[in-house]
Chains A and B, each alone.
Chain A
């Protein structure tokens, strides 16, 4: 295993080195730092050209310049590396990257996580309802999403998502027809999703439509959008729903110990809601992370205390539920500053430009909400495209697994459908996905180039485009060394994860 790893790492390094060389030559060919001077009519044109030539070593051949750049890169091994300097801004590329990487990372991580969660869920649901109207609609929708150009969607989102929603907030009431329309659509989706006999479909349709209509009516008549909050009652109700949902999926309702531990966790969470409100004003990122750790510890203790022959099951159920309830409490607290934040932003809270409001001097919660309102649009536009591929892959992979002999064996043993799907099929269906995630991250990274430009984020993609447009070679190389490394590592990780998860794959050392 170790030899395999070392060999793969070495070959990855060689590949990366070769591609930096090719890319350096390409960038050198594509950019011409002297272009604007050649066309200029200033008197000291010659002197300026000479100065810039000296600055960028333009009179040495590009191959030698590559090795000079490489020497700077190698310098990181003993701590005094450099990636060159941008001649436009006179800043070190390393400094430019330091600011930009964080911004892009936030975008990419959030989009990837959401795409995986939603894509896999929808894909699994679509596979379990194979050849139904729901399945066909999802298939069509994912084809449509594949075919959408990111930049087009992003402009649309800006126009409708942000400006439309902000306009809606001026008078946040949903008209009668809108209410009826949305409720009917929700009812249709749910009845298609749950499926079954006609009678069951009709009941699902009626219940879902009525529930949606009730929620919309409540939201509309109380002006919830202007001052949203969950409050302990709603947290309790939603928390219980989460507890039952998680238990159904993870162990089944028959496992009473798991159910009771999940419900206990919800009770603890609701009881802690009020005391937490006095802690939250002092919140920092570390405090929130600490609270999350405590939550998980409490869940583990509760699950362990309920005991039974298989403690791990109860602990797992309790932990998942606890995370859900913690997220609810967190969301509730973020919602409490919505009104304050709205006032900051002239009652137009959904932002279309930038990664954060400049000069916003709010507390932790306002800053957090500010980040979310800025993240929502670019994330959505990145999400849509990888969502489609995750849906397709997880659907295909689950269908493949469901045809295997061990699934037939599991059914023949008399296991419940839930156990067959969640325990035997779902877990194995996730294995091929493990190889797609790293590759998708690399794809999202390059998708971010477009999204960042449209939404005016000053991340790596923006740095790349600005530098390439401005004939500034070193920031382009800086961008490339980061994304190239990520792509190479992603490939490597994909191979390793696959080998680790699937015992049929052997790494031959």
Chain B
């Protein structure tokens, strides 16, 4: 298939546009849909930078203090107190003309001498854990409900969509606070699972919409004629075709999940002491803003970095999956073509 794609593009208006189309076609020649999407994503500079930064944050948070029983390379932990390195517990991290000095406590120490770097890293681990739990659970529920109601329509659809409406009615932070108070109590895993139970609504609506249109397509009829069961049609044939919407929405969901978790922990209904999350750290230290502002800066900075990275990755994925998205070829390529 050199110049005759399966779906004929609208007639190009002028020579430039024809040339652009030709270059575009040549670039995707012989590639599967997945490969095209992956290539587009890799080309998205913002998303790639964000992915790299996020990976770095995850690596830093996990290797430095270790996960669970496994020790990391950082000498302090988040519980023990230490004599202050610099008076006032100021951060020892310094970026100057003579290079970067890390020192004993790069992010500083809190009022009782605990190492803030270890605490922030621990909080980052916890917040990421809650974020992933919310993302996985909400995506699973959302896909299941959306697929069922889009595929079967009728009564199942009415029931599930009214259920979705009902959950949407409750402002997320409100139900989050109540659930957090009921189940959280310092347990990050339970908190993540509880919040996952109320954040699936957007996903189920989107998947339902996709399934409603997909079930009218020929390949579904073909599968049914071939004797495939309903479950097989739904999850083997239709779901891969809705994967774009699902992946994009999962990332966006995770970005809002981390904000939700930190907000709840800030309000005191999420992760609470002695456990640590980034929001809980800010809650703990907000009164210290005037005297020890770094206690407030670092956790906030990490929340923003994580949320921003996930948002950018989501944006890159959306562009990559969007069939209408076209890359404008560079001037050099236009000349060559």
Interface readout for A11-54 with B: 1 if CB under 8 Å, 0 if not?
10011101100110011011100000000000000000000000
- The answer to whether the Cβ of A476 comes within 8 Å of any Cβ in the partner chain is yes
Q: Which size class do A's interface residues fall under? A: 35 or more
User: Are A468 and B170 in contact, with the CB atoms below 8 A?
Assistant: no
User: Are A468 and B312 in contact, with the CB atoms below 8 A?
Assistant: no
Query: B110-118, B216-224, B259-267: which lies at the A interface?
Result: B259-267
Partner of A479, one of B168, B174, B279: B174
Interface residues of A in 482-501 (CB under 8 A from B): 483-484, 487-488, 491
Query: How far is it, in angstroms, between the C-alpha of A443 and the C-alpha of B167 when the chains are bound?
Result: 14
Nearest chain A residue, comparing its CB with the CB of B184:
A30
Given contact pairs A15-B165, A159-B289, A450-B263, A147 touches B173 in the complex (Cβ within 8 A): no
Nearest chain B residue, comparing its CB with the CB of A484:
B169
- The answer to whether the Cβ of A457 comes within 8 Å of any Cβ in the partner chain is no
- The answer to whether the Cβ of A480 comes within 8 Å of any Cβ in the partner chain is yes
Partner of A450, one of B170, B173, B303: B173
Q: What chain A residues lie within 8 Å of B167 (beta carbons)?
A: 19
Query: How far is it, in angstroms, between the C-alpha of A449 and the C-alpha of B266 when the chains are bound?
Result: 12
- The answer to whether the Cβ of B300 comes within 8 Å of any Cβ in the partner chain is yes
User: Are A149 and B169 in contact, with the CB atoms below 8 A?
Assistant: no
Query: How far is it, in angstroms, between the C-alpha of A30 and the C-alpha of B269 when the chains are bound?
Result: 11
Query: B74-82, B132-140, B175-183: which lies at the A interface?
Result: B175-183
- The answer to whether the Cβ of B147 comes within 8 Å of any Cβ in the partner chain is no
Given contact pairs A26-B179, A147-B307, A469 touches B170 in the complex (Cβ within 8 A): no
Given contact pairs A16-B169, A468-B181, A151 touches B263 in the complex (Cβ within 8 A): yes
- The answer to whether the Cβ of B311 comes within 8 Å of any Cβ in the partner chain is yes
Query: How far is it, in angstroms, between the C-alpha of A14 and the C-alpha of B300 when the chains are bound?
Result: 41
Given contact pairs A26-B175, A143-B308, A151 touches B165 in the complex (Cβ within 8 A): no
Q: What chain B residues lie within 8 Å of A150 (beta carbons)?
A: 263
Given contact pairs A30-B179, A149-B279, A450 touches B266 in the complex (Cβ within 8 A): yes
Interface readout for B78-94 with A: 1 if CB under 8 Å, 0 if not?
00000000000000000
Query: How far is it, in angstroms, between the C-alpha of A450 and the C-alpha of B308 when the chains are bound?
Result: 21
- The answer to whether the Cβ of B172 comes within 8 Å of any Cβ in the partner chain is yes
Q: What chain B residues lie within 8 Å of A213 (beta carbons)?
A: none
- The answer to whether the Cβ of A222 comes within 8 Å of any Cβ in the partner chain is no
- The answer to whether the Cβ of B1 comes within 8 Å of any Cβ in the partner chain is no
Given contact pairs A15-B166, A30-B178, A143-B312, A149 touches B303 in the complex (Cβ within 8 A): yes
Interface residues of A in 426-475 (CB under 8 A from B): 442-443, 445-447, 449-450, 453, 464-465, 468-469
Q: What chain A residues lie within 8 Å of B326 (beta carbons)?
A: none
Q: What's the least CB distance linking B311 to chain A, in Å?
A: 5
Q: What's the least CB distance linking A336 to chain B, in Å?
A: 34
User: Are B259 and A147 in contact, with the CB atoms below 8 A?
Assistant: yes
Interface readout for A149-169 with B: 1 if CB under 8 Å, 0 if not?
111100100010000000000
- The answer to whether the Cβ of B145 comes within 8 Å of any Cβ in the partner chain is no
**Interface residues of B, dominant DSSP:** helix
- The answer to whether the Cβ of B22 comes within 8 Å of any Cβ in the partner chain is no
Interface readout for B185-203 with A: 1 if CB under 8 Å, 0 if not?
0000000000000000000
User: Are B168 and A491 in contact, with the CB atoms below 8 A?
Assistant: yes
User: Are A19 and B170 in contact, with the CB atoms below 8 A?
Assistant: yes
Given contact pairs A150-B263, A464-B174, A491 touches B303 in the complex (Cβ within 8 A): no
User: Are B179 and A149 in contact, with the CB atoms below 8 A?
Assistant: no
- The answer to whether the Cβ of B162 comes within 8 Å of any Cβ in the partner chain is yes
Query: How far is it, in angstroms, between the C-alpha of A159 and the C-alpha of B289 when the chains are bound?
Result: 8
Query: How far is it, in angstroms, between the C-alpha of A479 and the C-alpha of B171 when the chains are bound?
Result: 11
Query: How far is it, in angstroms, between the C-alpha of A26 and the C-alpha of B289 when the chains are bound?
Result: 35
User: Are B171 and A487 in contact, with the CB atoms below 8 A?
Assistant: yes
Q: What chain A residues lie within 8 Å of B300 (beta carbons)?
A: 149, 152
User: Are B174 and A491 in contact, with the CB atoms below 8 A?
Assistant: no
Query: How far is it, in angstroms, between the C-alpha of A18 and the C-alpha of B168 when the chains are bound?
Result: 12
Q: What chain A residues lie within 8 Å of B182 (beta carbons)?
A: 26, 29-30
Q: What chain A residues lie within 8 Å of B271 (beta carbons)?
A: none
User: Are B282 and A152 in contact, with the CB atoms below 8 A?
Assistant: yes
User: Are A480 and B174 in contact, with the CB atoms below 8 A?
Assistant: yes
Interface residues of B in 258-297 (CB under 8 A from A): 259, 262-263, 266-269, 279, 282, 286, 289-290, 296
User: Are A446 and B255 in contact, with the CB atoms below 8 A?
Assistant: no
User: Are B179 and A450 in contact, with the CB atoms below 8 A?
Assistant: no
Nearest chain B residue, comparing its CB with the CB of A471:
B181
Partner of A155, one of B267, B296, B303: B296
User: Are A143 and B315 in contact, with the CB atoms below 8 A?
Assistant: yes
- The answer to whether the Cβ of B56 comes within 8 Å of any Cβ in the partner chain is no
User: Are B303 and A446 in contact, with the CB atoms below 8 A?
Assistant: no
User: Are A450 and B255 in contact, with the CB atoms below 8 A?
Assistant: no
Query: How far is it, in angstroms, between the C-alpha of A446 and the C-alpha of B198 when the chains are bound?
Result: 15
Q: What's the least CB distance linking A160 to chain B, in Å?
A: 11
Given contact pairs A26-B178, A449-B174, A483-B174, A149 touches B308 in the complex (Cβ within 8 A): no
Query: How far is it, in angstroms, between the C-alpha of A152 and the C-alpha of B267 when the chains are bound?
Result: 12
User: Are B162 and A15 in contact, with the CB atoms below 8 A?
Assistant: yes
- The answer to whether the Cβ of B304 comes within 8 Å of any Cβ in the partner chain is yes
User: Are B170 and A30 in contact, with the CB atoms below 8 A?
Assistant: no
User: Are B173 and A446 in contact, with the CB atoms below 8 A?
Assistant: yes
Query: How far is it, in angstroms, between the C-alpha of A159 and the C-alpha of B287 when the chains are bound?
Result: 11
Interface residues of B in 134-169 (CB under 8 A from A): 162, 165-169
- The answer to whether the Cβ of A217 comes within 8 Å of any Cβ in the partner chain is no
Q: What chain A residues lie within 8 Å of B168 (beta carbons)?
A: 487, 491
Query: How far is it, in angstroms, between the C-alpha of A442 and the C-alpha of B179 when the chains are bound?
Result: 19
Partner of B262, one of A19, A149, A453, A464: A149
- The answer to whether the Cβ of A146 comes within 8 Å of any Cβ in the partner chain is yes
Q: What chain B residues lie within 8 Å of A16 (beta carbons)?
A: 169
Q: What chain A residues lie within 8 Å of B266 (beta carbons)?
A: 149, 151, 450
Query: How far is it, in angstroms, between the C-alpha of A449 and the C-alpha of B167 when the chains are bound?
Result: 19
Nearest chain A residue, comparing its CB with the CB of B171:
A446
Query: How far is it, in angstroms, between the C-alpha of A200 and the C-alpha of B277 when the chains are bound?
Result: 51
Q: What chain A residues lie within 8 Å of B315 (beta carbons)?
A: 143
Query: How far is it, in angstroms, between the C-alpha of A35 and the C-alpha of B2 when the chains are bound?
Result: 74
Q: What's the least CB distance linking B14 to chain A, in Å?
A: 14
- The answer to whether the Cβ of A148 comes within 8 Å of any Cβ in the partner chain is yes
Q: What chain A residues lie within 8 Å of B308 (beta carbons)?
A: 143-144, 147
Given contact pairs A155-B286, A468-B269, A148 touches B178 in the complex (Cβ within 8 A): no
Partner of A469, one of B166, B268, B296, B312: B268
Q: What chain A residues lie within 8 Å of B307 (beta carbons)?
A: 146-149
Given contact pairs A149-B262, A151-B266, A446 touches B165 in the complex (Cβ within 8 A): no
Nearest chain B residue, comparing its CB with the CB of A447:
B173
Q: What's the least CB distance linking A494 to chain B, in Å?
A: 12
Which of A30, A445, A453, A476 has the largest number of chain B CB atoms within 10 A? A30
Q: What's the least CB distance linking A153 to chain B, in Å?
A: 9
Partner of A480, one of B170, B259, B289: B170
A-B contact pairs, 16 of them (CB 8 A): A15-B165, A26-B178, A26-B179, A146-B255, A147-B255, A147-B259, A147-B307, A147-B308, A151-B267, A155-B282, A155-B286, A443-B171, A449-B171, A449-B174, A464-B177, A491-B165
**A contacts, CB < 8 Å to B:** 11, 14-16, 18-19, 22-23, 26-27, 29-31, 143-144, 146-152, 155, 159, 442-443, 445-447, 449-450, 453, 464-465, 468-469, 476, 479-480, 483-484, 487-488, 491
**Nearest 4 pairs of A and B residues by beta carbon:** A147-B307, A446-B171, A30-B182, A147-B308
Assuming A16-B169, A149-B304, A450-B263, what are 14 further A-B pairs, CB within 8 angstroms? Answer: A15-B166, A19-B166, A23-B178, A30-B182, A149-B262, A151-B263, A151-B266, A155-B289, A446-B172, A446-B173, A449-B173, A449-B174, A449-B267, A479-B174
